[in-house]
């Protein structure tokens, strides 16, 4: 295992270099493609920083809702099946909160600058 720089630091350094040094000199469609690449690097940086904790919290919420254990993928599948069969709905204690928090955690990684996401963070 490597010590430093970490994968997150490396990816951030590349994204910053592209954004600050290369992007100002690129025009047209190549500038668009470069911005897409920079956005992908930023997304991976956020995934590395946030995904493990948010996945663990999501799994814990699902275990409480379902009363069973398993991997996150399996727990999500079980929840979907219960919803499809009508065994769980928005009246189920904890479901609305779980869905809301899961959505907010996913937005923190995928779209942290989304105006509605920022507004909701401010309401907490």
For the chain, what are the domain ranges?
7-122
Structure tokens at 33: 């493609």
pLDDT digits (tens, 9 = 90+) for 70-100: 999 999 999 999 999 999 999 999 999 999 9
As a whole-number percent, the residues of the chain with pLDDT over 70 amount to 98
Report field, pTM of the whole predicted structure over 0.85: no
Residues 61-100, buried b or exposed e (16+ Cβ, 10 A)? bbeebbeeeeeeeebbebbeebeeeeebeeeeeebeebee
Neighbours of 114 (CB within 10 A): 12
pLDDT on residue 1: 61
- DSSP per-residue letters across 75-104: HHHHHHHHHHTTSS-TTSTTHHHHHHHHHH
Q: Would you say residue 122 has pLDDT above 90? A: no
DSSP state of 25: G
């Amino acid at each position: 295992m490597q010590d430093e720089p970490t994968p997150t630091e490396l990816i951030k350094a590349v994204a910053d270099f592209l954004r600050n040094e290369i992007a100002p000199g690129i025009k047209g469609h190549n500038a668009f493609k470069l911005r897409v690449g920079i956005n992908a690097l930023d997304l991976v940086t956020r995934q590395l920083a946030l995904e493990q904790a948010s996945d663990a919290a999501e799994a814990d919420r699902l275990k409480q809702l379902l009363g069973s254990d398993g991997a996150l993928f399996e727990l999500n599948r079980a929840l979907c099946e219960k919803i499809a069969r009508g065994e769980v709905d928005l009246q189920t204690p904890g479901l609305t909160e779980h869905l809301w928090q899961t959505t907010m955690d996913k937005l923190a990684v995928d779209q942290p600058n989304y105006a509605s996401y920022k507004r909701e963070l401010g309401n907490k």
